[in-house]
Chains A and B, each alone.
Chain A
């Protein structure tokens, strides 16, 4: 919807691709404030404070590392599909590889899994 409205508003205006991406990204981020807020009043309060009371950037190194690990896994999956790489640890004929894979998966769930449902953002809606 936003894209249709904005493309109408800026019809004929040619912007560099990077600027368009930044603009769309910013609009989406602002829209997410309304998506997450409990009330319209809360959302407006957050938006106002962004401009009136700017604070420091929220950069949590641990979160960044987790994001990097997660995105890396997704990229590996994409590359595997894209280039049709035939590797499957779970179906390996070698039992050691198979078991190591199972244990690695279970261990990563135990170490990085979200066991507390309230941590999952969509449970808040």
Chain B
């Protein structure tokens, strides 16, 4: 009786492993089809597998909404793609940089960053699920996904789990096609919201700050890989409608030091010194399309010297 029970459990596990693998392969195939059909909606996969431009913009929403490739292309004469994605901490940029540079070497990669990106409070790996399907293929992706929780390596044994919560979205994208507009840039409308009435003055409390060791590792790894592949990288802080005491913040000073020691340019426009008109912002952290155009023109001038040196 006991032996029969063990055999049945073993049979169930074998069947389950087979189905798991089969479903995983099927979703991998469907994700590729969805990428062909809706590259804009499959933004992460598009960055990992398709992008081939000479200049790449990486970062979160402020990257995605602030850098207009059309203006940059006119100014510097290189093809540009904006791979920024809303709400993503630095780990996402580091992962995308790693995946892109496995395929080819762009001439320039711009990382739009938060000045306090090295701090623990600015780092969460909860939404790293988009990297799950590439768990076996990319060592850095594996490290990032494993940061989500201690049980993640066990969960990742399942190929179905890698598409957890994305199954419906992937299938849905097979029926709704889209295309990549504005070379990945997502302009924010200039209407439909109230302009900011008063400028926030932010005072950062430096006492609570601690460095996230893994983010620091990602930064150093990114710098190292850029050197190995001979890729010019630039770190940029795009405008915010605020004034702050960021120069007093230790993590910012630390970040400056690391970049400076490695001769990596850090371009700071992160307050109102460049753009101080409230009607060019949607909110304190985001420029609208008019503001983005003003900023991009200025930014093109700022990065030109690094391309000429190159």
Task: Give A residues with C-beta under 8 Å from B.
Answer: 53, 61-62, 65-66, 69, 99, 102-103, 106-107, 110-116, 118
Instruction: Tell me if B's interface is mostly helix, strand, loop or mixed.
Output: helix
- A-B contacts besides A111-B23, A116-B148, 10 pairs, CB < 8 Å: A53-B193, A66-B168, A103-B19, A107-B23, A107-B160, A111-B160, A111-B167, A114-B165, A115-B161, A118-B126
Contact among A66, A103, A106, A115 for B155, CB-based, below 8 A = A115
Contact among A107, A112, A116, A118 for B19, CB-based, below 8 A = A107
* B200 vs chain A, min Cβ distance (A): 16
Residue among A102, A107, A114, A115 with max Cβ neighbours from chain B (10 Å): A115
Bound complex: CA A118 to CA B129 (Å): 14
Residue among A66, A107, A110, A115 with max Cβ neighbours from chain B (10 Å): A110
Q: Is the CB of B12 within 8 A of A110?
A: no
Bound complex: CA A106 to CA B18 (Å): 13
Task: Give B residues with C-beta under 8 Å from A.
Answer: 11-12, 15-16, 19-20, 23, 126, 148, 155, 158, 160-161, 163-165, 167-169, 172, 193-194
Contacts of B172 in A (CB 8 A): 61-62, 65
Residue among B16, B23, B126, B172 with max Cβ neighbours from chain A (10 Å): B16
- Which partner residue on chain B sits nearest A60 by CB separation? B169
Known: A103-B15, A107-B23. A53 touches B194 (CB 8 A): yes
Q: Is the CB of A111 within 8 A of B12?
A: no
